[in-house]
Amino acid sequence: MMKLELRGITKRFGSVVANDGIDLLVEAGEVHCLLGENGAGKSTLMNLLYGMLSPDSGEILIDDRPVHLDSPASAMAAGIGMVHQHFTLVPPLTVAENIVLGDEHGGRLGWLDRARAKREVADLVERFGLEVPAASTIESLPVGIRQRVEILKALRRDARLLILDEPTAVLTPHEADRLFDVVRQLRADGRSIVFISHRLAEVRAISDRITVIRHGRVVGEADPVTTEVELASMMVGRTVDLAVEKPPLIEQAGTALDLEGVSLLGEGGEPRLADVNLTLRTGEILGVAGVQGNGQAELVDILLGAEHPTSGTIRLGGEEMQGCSRREMLAAEVGYVPEDRHAEGLIDGFSIAENLILDQYRAKRFSSAGRLRFDEIEGNADELMSKFDIRAPSRDTNCDTLSGGNAQKVVLARELSRELRLLVAVEPTRGLDIGSSAFVYKQIVDARSRGTAVVLVSSDLDEIFSLADRIVVLYRGRVTGTATPSTDRDQVGLMMAGAAA
- What torsion, rounded to 10 degrees, do the Cα atoms 116, 122, 126, 131 define? 150
Sole binder of other proteins in the list 74, 279, 367, 417 (CB under 8 A): 367
Q: What are phi and psi of 466, to 5 degrees?
A: -85, -20
Q: How far apart are CA 352 and CA 359, in angstroms?
A: 13
Shorter beta-carbon distance to other proteins: residue 136 or 360: 360
Q: Does 230 bind other proteins (CB under 8 A)?
A: no
Identify the three-state secondary structure at position 76: helix
Considering the complex, state which of residue 87 and residue 350 has its C-beta at the smaller distance from other proteins: 350
The stretch near other proteins (CB under 8 A) out of 200-208, 311-319, 341-349, 378-386 is 341-349
In the set 87, 128, 180, 350, which binds other proteins (CB under 8 A)? 350
Residue 304 within binding range of other proteins, rule CB under 8 A: yes
Strands (E), 134-177: 161-165
Among 260, 359, 376, 462, binds other proteins (CB under 8 A): 359
**By C-beta, is 73 or 122 nearer to other proteins?**
73
> % helix / strand / coil in the chain, to the nearest 5?
35, 25, 40
Q: Kindly state whether residue 348 participates in binding other proteins, applying the rule CB under 8 A.
A: yes
Q: Does 298 bind other proteins (CB under 8 A)?
A: no
Tell me how far apart the alpha carbons of residues 70 and 74 are, in angstroms, rounded to a whole number.
6
Instruction: To the nearest 10°, report the CA torsion of 296, 297, 299, 303.
Output: 140
Q: For residues 145 and 444, give the distance between their C-alpha atoms in angstroms, rounded to a whole number.
A: 32
Among the listed ranges 132-140, 359-367, 378-386, 485-493, the one in contact with other proteins (CB under 8 A) is 359-367
Q: For other proteins, which residue of 25, 347, 494, 501 counts as binding (CB under 8 A)? A: 347
Smallest gap from Cβ 358 to other proteins, in A, equals 4
- Quick check: helix, strand or coil at residue 203? helix
Establish if 419 lies at the interface with other proteins (CB under 8 A).
no
Q: Does 306 bind other proteins (CB under 8 A)?
A: yes
CA distance 103 to 301: 40
- Scanning 42-50, 180-188, 196-204, 365-373 for contacts with other proteins by CB under 8 A, the matching segment is 365-373
- 10, 53 in Cβ contact below 8 A? no
Q: Which is nearer to other proteins, 274 or 372 (CB)?
A: 372
Show the site string, 449-488: x = touches other proteins by CB under 8 A, - = not. Answer: ----------------------------------------
Q: Are 410 and 402 in contact (CB under 8 A)?
A: yes
* Among the listed residues 313, 294, 305, the one whose alpha carbon sits nearest the alpha carbon of residue 481: 294
The single residue among 326, 365, 421, 489 that binds other proteins, judged by CB under 8 A, is: 326
Contact between 114 and other proteins per CB under 8 A: no
Scanning 172-180, 229-237, 346-354, 438-446 for contacts with other proteins by CB under 8 A, the matching segment is: 346-354
CB distance 214 to 40 below 8 Å: yes
* Partners of 320 in beta bridges: 315
Task: Tell me: does residue 59 bind other proteins (CB under 8 A).
Answer: no
Are 212 and 35 spatial neighbours (Cβ–Cβ below 8 Å)? yes
Residues near other proteins (CB under 8 A), total = 24
Using an 8 Å Cβ cutoff, are 436 and 456 in contact? Answer: no
The span of 51-59, 362-370, 382-390, 449-457 binding other proteins (CB under 8 A) equals 362-370
CB of 344 to other proteins, least distance (A): 5
* Binding of other proteins by 351 (CB under 8 A): no
Nearest to 422 by CA among 280, 264, 276: 280
**Span near other proteins by CB under 8 A; candidates 16-24, 163-171, 206-214, 339-347:** 339-347
User: Interface with other proteins by CB under 8 A: which range of 3-11, 80-88, 192-200, 343-351?
Assistant: 343-351
| Rounded-to-10 torsion of CA 140, 150, 460, 435 | -130
Q: Are 402 and 385 in contact (CB under 8 A)?
A: no
Q: Which residues bind other proteins (CB under 8 A)?
A: 304, 306, 326-327, 330, 336, 338, 343-350, 354, 358-359, 361-362, 367, 370-372
